[in-house]
Chain A
Amino acid sequence: RKEVEQDPGPFNVPEGATVAFNCTYSNSASQSFFWYRQDCRKEPKLLMSVYSSGNEDGRFTAQLNRASQYISLLIRDSKLSDSATYLCVVNGGGSYIPTFGRGTSLIVHP
């Protein structure tokens, strides 16, 4: 069962680069979407919710494409501290249980 899919990466980018990740989901009735960040061996933490109209938080932009059933995360001006694994989470669509993607690894190098 692969309801939520992410490219595991790693994405290796230099500082200052712009990088984008996608996350596809299979349940067209899904209702809420999130991006989490997980540092090595630490707990996942909410990065941002994803709204239908798209939303921005500083260098981070999240977008939802319902027609193609994917969400995206764009990181501008990458910092070394952005190195982490980014998990997408999809909720709803007949289930109250959140579904996590396996995560995309980002490595930002000097």
Chain B
Amino acid sequence: EAQVTQNPRYLITVTGKKLTVTCSQNMNHEYMSWYRQDPGLGLRQIYYSMNVEVTDKGDVPEGYKVSRKEKRNFPLILESPSPNQTSLYFCASSRQGMNIQYFGAGTRLSVL
């Protein structure tokens, strides 16, 4: 089954404790991206990757890092989480950026 898998689905952490949210897709897609969604603000892109070893900032990259060492994986790293990063996060992939986006089920993060 074609899918985008995010883990964990729910995470409560404390300020400053490094965390990683994993994202994996099994569709051999070149394009992957991370979004955060907050009430009233819609989906905002954090980072995206056009292919392996090619990443670029989206609209709200501050406080986040990503890496794309393999085509299927695109982890999101919060080196020092802060409460303003409390949000619902989605990973997405597509054959190319202009094509249909497939989303993971989301990660609900709370930073205390």
Interface, chain A (partner B; CB < 8 A):
8, 31-32, 34, 36, 41-46, 49, 87, 89, 91-92, 95-98, 100-103
The CA of A34 and the CA of B43, in the complex, are separated in Å by: 15
In B71-102, the 8 Å CB interface with A consists of: 88, 90, 94, 96-101
B46 an interface residue at 8 Å Cβ cutoff? no
Complex contact A96–B106 (CB within 8 A): no
A45-B103, A98-B97 are known; give 12 further A-B pairs, CB within 8 A.
Answer: A32-B99, A42-B106, A43-B105, A49-B100, A95-B97, A96-B31, A96-B96, A96-B98, A97-B45, A97-B58, A97-B97, A103-B42
A-B contact pairs, 21 of them (CB 8 A): A8-B40, A31-B98, A41-B88, A41-B106, A43-B103, A44-B43, A44-B90, A44-B103, A46-B101, A87-B43, A91-B97, A92-B98, A95-B97, A96-B31, A96-B96, A97-B58, A98-B97, A98-B98, A98-B101, A100-B42, A100-B43
